[in-house]
Structure 1
Amino acid sequence: MPMELSFFIEVLVGGLLAGMMYSLVALGFVLIFKASGIFNFAQAAMVLFAAMFIAGMNQRYGVPFWLAIPITIVLMIGVAWIIERVVLRPLVNQEPIIMFMSTIGIFFALIGFAEIIWGSRSRSLDVGIPTDPIFVGDMLFQSYDLVAGAIAIVLVLMLALFAQRTRMGRVLRAVADDHQAAQAVGIRLNTVWVVVWSIAGFVAVVAGVVWGGNLGVQPVMVDVAFKALPVLLLGGLTSIHGAIIAGLIIGAGESLAEVYLGPIIGGGIDNWFAYVIAMAFMVYRPEGMFGEKIIERI
């Protein structure tokens, strides 16, 4: 295989694996938006919050890593229940901007609460995933990226199957189509909200562990998690498969652009490339590739 093609495949595969992680976080946004119409700005903070608790319990109190993860999952489900009961339930039927602003408050509250308990310094997180390079012919891959990508792929497929094949997934789609009609047939919106926020918390734990093991547990994780926003805009706020496809496009695109355009226009392309692509696409299709068109009658 020519060296140029081998290098291209290395860069492309690395970008696709990163894109699956973006898709994973984006699915947390999508599920909450489909169930409640709320754009959960706090999803990125939930990733950092979960990672800080796992690292803090492991390093300060010596809690084994295999035990810290289920404890944090239970914690995130508890956080989801508190958010639904204390913040969201009193705001039912309020304007969407009020609900959105409430998630911004949750964003800062989660980060602040975690920093009060664990401090704000960066922490390493050894998740037990090997970091040795792997050679496939002339191509070089990082074993950590391959394992992390595989974890993301499995969880993304599980969430997609959950939404499409399970009873709760059908309930979720019914709620997304019409809240009032769903309530009329006996669906309890509060229960659905707790479930989807709990799933978003579980997704945050997985993303926090994988990214924390790679980047370390530090505030920059929030910036990485925010890469899910252009994924949402590109794929559509209500589309699960759109989040998956858009994540792959964004991940591969920014990786290739950084390598091939970086020497021409300067470095740091991966910091803004995804947002530029999403904004450019929204000019022609504001609802995203697979989002539902919104028709307002006057």
Structure 2
Amino acid sequence: MDILYKIFIDPFMQMGGAPDLLIQVLWEGLVGGVLYALIALGFVLIFKASGVFNFAQGIMVVFAALTLVGLYEKGVPAFLALALTVGVMLLLAYSVERIVLKPLVNQPDIILFMATFGLTYFLIGLGELIFGGSPKQMIASQLYLPKGSIDIPMFGGSVMLQKIDIAAAIIASLMVAGLALFFQYTRIGRALRAVADSHKAALSVGISLEQIWVIVWFAAGIVALATGIMWGARSEVSFALQIIALKALPVLILGGFTSIPGAIVGGLIIGVGEKIGEFYWGPLLGNGIESWLAYMIALAFLLFRPQGLFGEKIIERI
């Protein structure tokens, strides 16, 4: 009975007894969830255009952040380094289309998926060759990202909001909303949806696969850069960031691999769920459950709704 009390009653008693602490945990979960949604958006864009899960999205986050910091360390002013990093991500998108995607058109999806594995290790090697393997500090202050925190009195206590977390949540939310509107209501967005439905049909109506792929990979690169800046400002820039980026996988399972709204909702569910689970139920399991709880939530969704909350349910008749 004691263990049942600790699992099903005590955590909720703690929530009711310290609502200010609950708000603090929810806030941290929401910030993490928005950043997860931003990472997942990069995966969704490429999956919608090519039908392939881009395993390299995680290392793109690291590579973009390392490029920004590396250029600044070479003496390039911060905002010029930011603009040059955007140019590097455009060059990467064009190179991927020319060297990887174009020769593999109409090949099985597993071939393209394995190609993204190769791209991952190529970028790891290139990043270590150019920038080294040691962690670096993000140039947050040079980019005028805020420092410090705000204490808000609430429920007899206080909730501390880090200013960098507020900025990260606002910037990530604006980027997610902007990209969602862009791909939903513009000509490029309609072309993207046509390419996602059928490459051959899109080609038959004059849509350029090469152009769409460059645009989508460039958009994913911009998302990777923004993610690298925000995560790097909260911790540091290192190759370990690619592990955080793979948290997008459970987000995609929850929201659906082809849904931009699904990436947003899935990110929030994972972000809030893992923070609440770690804080209130983590001590029962020896702590550290934040590293695997997201995957357990995703597994539960796979059992009952494998297409995700917003994914399309595919029915095959035999």
TM-score by length of 1: 0.96
Tell me what 2:131 maps to: 118
> Secondary structure of the equivalent of 2:107?
coil
C-alpha deviation, 1:126, in angstroms: 2.5
Residue correspondence of structure 1 range 14-53 to structure 2 within 5 A = 14-53=28-67
Count of residues in Structure 1 that have an aligned counterpart in Structure 2: 296
Partner of 2:242: 222
**Structure 1 residue 178: Cα displacement:** 2.4
Distance 2:163 2:66 in 1: 24
Deviations along 1:18-54, one digit per CA (max 9) or x if unpaired, are 1010100101110111111111000001000011111
Alignment partner, residue 106 of structure 2: 93
The one-letter amino acid paired with 2:122 is A
Q: Secondary structure at the match of 2:18?
A: helix
* Greater radius of gyration (CA): 2
- Letter of the 2:53 counterpart: F
8 Å contact 1:15–1:253 — kept in the other structure?
A: yes
For the 8 Å contact 1:65–1:127, the answer to whether it is kept is no
Aligned partners of 2:77, 2:138: CA distance in 1, in Å?
12
Contact 1:69 1:205 in 2 (8 A): no
1-side partners of 2:20 and 2:199: how far apart? 51
Q: Which runs of 5+ in 1 are unaligned?
A: none
Helix, strand or coil at the partner of 2:121: helix
Structure 1 CA distance, aligned partners of 2:195 and 2:228?
Answer: 29
Structure 1 equivalent of residue 4 of structure 2: none
Over the matched positions of the two proteins, sequence identity in percent amounts to 51
- Aligned counterparts, 1:60-209, within 5 A: 61-128=74-141, 129-137=145-153, 138-209=158-229
Structure 1, 288-297 or 84-93: larger mean CA deviation: 288-297
Q: Is the 8 A contact 2:65 2:232 kept in 1?
A: yes
- 1:297 Cα deviation after fit: 3.6
- For 1:255, the equivalent position in structure 2 comes to 275
Structure 1 position 3, deviation (Å): 6.5
In structure 1, the partner of 2:8 is none
TM-score (norm 2): 0.91
Superimposed CA distance per residue, residues 138-185 of structure 1 (whole angstroms, 9 cap, x where no aligned partner): 211111111111111110100111111111111111221222222111
Moved over 6 A (4+): none
Is 1:231 aligned to residue 245 of structure 2?
no
1:10 offset after TM fit, Å?
1.1
Secondary structure, counterpart of 2:279 in structure 1: helix
Partner of 1:243: 263
Within 2, Cα distance between the matches of 1:183 and 1:80? 20
Secondary structure of 1:158's aligned partner:
helix
State how far apart, in whole Å, the 1-side matches of 2:147 and 2:289 are. Answer: 25
**Are the equivalent residues in 1 in contact too, given 2:97–2:210 (CA < 8 A)?**
yes
- TM superposition shift of 1:285: 1.2
Q: Unaligned regions of 5+ residues in structure 2, if any?
A: 1-15
Q: Report the CA distance between 1:135 and its aligned residue.
A: 1.1
Equivalent AA in structure 2 for residue 132 of structure 1: G
Structure 2 letter corresponding to 1:279: L
In the alignment, which residue of structure 2 is the partner of 1:13?
A: 27
Kindly indicate whether the alpha-carbon contact (under 8 Å) linking 2:59 and 2:239 is maintained by their aligned counterparts in 1: no
For residue 149 of structure 2, what is the amino acid of its counterpart? Answer: P
CA contact (8 A) 1:132 1:143 kept: yes
- What is the CA-CA distance between 1:272 and the residue it aligns to? 0.6
Q: Distance in 2 between matches of 1:121 and 1:226?
A: 21
SS in 2 for 1:125: coil
Contact 1:215 1:221 in 2 (8 A): no
Which amino acid in 2 is paired with 1:94?
Answer: Q
